[in-house]
Homo-oligomer: A and B are copies of this chain.
Amino acid sequence: MEDESLVSTILSGDKRSIARAISAIESADPAATRMLKAIFPRTGRAVIVGITGAPGAGKSTLVDGLASYYRSHVLKVGIIAVDPSSPFTGGAILGDRIRMQNMATDPGIFIRSMAARGHLGGLARATTDAAAVLDAAGYDRIIIETVGVGQDEIDIVKTADVTVVVLVPGMGDDIQAIKAGLMEIADLFVINKADRDGVLRTEREIESLLSISERPDGWVPKIIKTIATEKSGIELLAEAVDEYVSYLRSGEKSPDGRRALVAEHRIVEMLRDRLFQLALEKGTSQKELRDLARSVADRSRDPYSIVDEIVCRLGFGPVV
């Protein structure tokens, strides 16, 4: 990767350069870090929208609708579709390929799938870095869409400026727990498939969960009803996104502004990854780790003492 020319072609918005840069990020190419350092001052302009929710909630259709809406307002749109758990090129990825073909003809849309495999340093970090590339390349809205409802998805959408949680009416059983898990991160709720029975009940459940929690930033998450397959409610959603972003920016100078929190989380994750890489270079090796693991498996050693020992070798002295 020729660093300087790539940086300038990214900044000029060249799609092939963006794709190459994201591939370099995915493979943890050291050149990717140099590129990211160079483009970083040119980021921060785009609005990053994270969209997550339970399986089958219709996220992809919603994202496509939102992208079309932005395009009709002459905004450039980047879409990052994240599939954290899929080790195969399964359903979601295939679906994205079909979407990619449909959307690739529009020069104002860039769409990319990212899966868990081969992402040294974590999918959330790779996703954030990919969004930074699109941001620097002049995309106005970047939508990060995740399949699933686990911690990984939460980590990913937390890095966005606005987090949208998509629900559908009439989900049973564990859904209450999932909703609780998502409550904390949702800036906006979408009840999609709002022509189905149970919309009011779902809305009331969200409201009752909202009523027992209070956000540090004082924002009360909106609830938007959509029927994504009919493009109904998309405009309301787009307006609610803008409204929250305005609210957010009015408080951006405060020390606990959202972007500062996101940045702190990001520094911590990058630091953790780097320290572990250093431990593998200077304190132990993959091969030794494998041998030590075998001694744990047959109970001749315990993992706690092994960690003490490696940390000592890195020069951090004896541990309590």
Any B CB within 8 A of the CB of A198:
no
Judge if A261 is at the interface, Cβ distance under 8 Å: yes
CB distance from A12 to the nearest CB of B (A): 20
Q: How far is the CA of A307 from the CA of B33 in the complex (A)?
A: 11
For A91, list chain B residues within 8 Å (CB). 174-177, 180
When distances are taken between beta carbons in the complex, the residues of chain B under 8 Å from A259 are 296-297
Given contacts A36-B304, A296-B267, A302-B37, contact A174 B147 (CB under 8 A): yes
- Cβ contact within 8 Å between A271 and B87: no
Verify A299–B148 contact, CB threshold 8 A. no
Total A residues in contact with B, Cβ cutoff 8 Å: 91
**Chain B proximity of A8: nearest CB distance (Å):** 18
Q: Is A172 an interface residue (CB 8 A)?
A: yes
Please tell me which stretch of A65-73, A226-234, A309-317 contacts chain B, meaning at least 4 of its Cβ atoms lie within 8 angstroms of it. A309-317
User: Counting CB contacts under 8 A, is A4 at the interface?
Assistant: no
User: Cβ of A55 and Cβ of B54 under 8 Å apart?
Assistant: yes
Q: Which residues of B contact A245 (CB under 8 A)?
A: none
Query: Is the C-beta of A275 less than 8 angstroms from some C-beta in chain B?
Result: yes
Interface pair B173/A304, CB less than 8 Å apart: no
CB distance from A44 to the nearest CB of B (A): 5
Hey, which chain B residues are within 8 Å of A99, CB to CB?
Answer: none
The answer to whether B150 touches A151 (Cβ under 8 A) is: yes
Shortest beta-carbon distance, A1 to chain B, in Å? 15
Which residues on the B side are within 8 Å of A93 (C-beta)? 177
Looking at the complex, which one of B87, B289, B315 makes contact with A267 (CB distance below 8 Å)?
Answer: B289
Q: Assuming A148-B149, A282-B316, is B270 touching A307 (CB within 8 A)? A: yes
Of the candidates B58, B271, B299, B316, the one whose C-beta lies within 8 Å of that of A311 is B271
Q: Is A272 an interface residue, CB under 8 A from the partner?
A: yes
A87-B183, A264-B289 known; A148-B178 Cβ under 8 A: yes
Q: In whole Å, how far is A92's beta carbon from the nearest beta carbon of chain B?
A: 4
Taking a contact as CB atoms under 8 Å apart, the answer to whether A260 and B297 are in contact is: yes
In whole angstroms, how far apart are the Cα atoms of A204 and B186 in the complex? 37
Which residues in B have their C-beta under 8 angstroms from that of A41?
Answer: 299, 302
Report B-chain residues with C-beta under 8 Å of the C-beta of A315.
315
The smallest beta-carbon distance between A41 and chain B, in angstroms, is 6
Within A56-99, the residues touching B (CB, 8 Å) are 56, 58, 83-88, 90-93
Closest 6 CB pairs of A and B: A150-B150, A85-B181, A90-B180, A91-B176, A264-B293, A55-B174
Chain A positions within 8 Å of B, measured between CB atoms, are 30, 33, 36-37, 40-41, 43-44, 54-56, 58, 83-88, 90-93, 116, 123, 147-154, 171-184, 209, 212-213, 252, 255, 257, 259-264, 266-268, 270-272, 274-276, 278-279, 282, 289-290, 292-294, 296-297, 299, 302-307, 310-311, 314-316, 319-320
Query: What would be 22 A-B contacts, judged by CB atoms less than 8 Å apart?
Result: A40-B303, A40-B304, A55-B174, A85-B177, A85-B180, A88-B180, A90-B179, A91-B175, A91-B176, A147-B177, A148-B150, A252-B297, A259-B296, A259-B297, A264-B293, A267-B296, A267-B303, A267-B306, A274-B307, A274-B319, A275-B276, A275-B311
